[in-house]
Structures are given as structure tokens and as C-alpha cells.
Amino acid sequence: MSRGLWFVAGAGAGIYAVVRGRRAAEALTIDGLTDRLNGLAVGARMFRDEVAQGHAEKQSELRERIAVAGRQAQALPPTAPATAVPHTDPPAQEESSSR
């Protein structure tokens, strides 16, 4: 039974190595590189679309907040303007020479 187990394990490892080798060789061909670049382009496009969607959602949320704040400001009664207090300089203090 031990020999049969090792035979099956060796055959499985061999098949795995052949499949991995074929995939690596295919990835380095022109068609394989083209597929990888196309996949990269699709991923970048999807990322760009996700960022644009998030940007639009955040922008609409901020516009709603500004609109609500504007409505609340319009609902407040007008306040009387502050009266201007004339600016006067404080009296100059003489330096004491207590040295």
C-alpha cells in the first residue's frame, strides 16, 4: 500500500507541476500578456468608477447639508446689527525706572 500511495502522490505532483508550467508559459506569450493588460485595464476602470460614484454620493450629501443649513439660517429671525463702539487706545503707561 505504501508504494501505491507514493505513486499517486508523485503522479499528482507531476500533474500539478505540468499544469503550473503551462500556465506560466501561457502567461509569458503575447496573448497571455494581452489578457493580463486587459485585466489590469478593467480593474483600473472599475476602480475609477467606484471612486467617481463615491465622490458623487459625498458631494450630494454635502449639498444636502449646505441646503439644510441655509434653510435653518433663513428661518432664524434677523438680529439687530451690533453697535459700533469707538476704539480708544488705553492711556499710555509710563515706564518706571526702579533699577
**pLDDT tens column, 61-87:** 999 988 887 777 777 666 666 666 666
Q: Is 32 exposed, middle or buried (0-12, 13-18, 19+ CB in 10 A)?
A: middle
Q: What are the grid coordinates assigned to 77, written together?
A: 429671525
How much of the chain, in percent, has pLDDT values that exceed 70?
Answer: 76
What is the rounded distance in angstroms from the CA atom of residue 17 to the CA atom of residue 15?
5
Residues in the chain: 99
Threshold 0.85, pTM exceeds? no
pLDDT at 67: 85
Residues 6+ apart with CB under 8 A from 97: none
H helix or E strand, kind and range, residue 63? helix 30-75
pLDDT in tens, 4-17: 999 999 999 999 99
Contact 36, 27 (CB under 8 A): yes
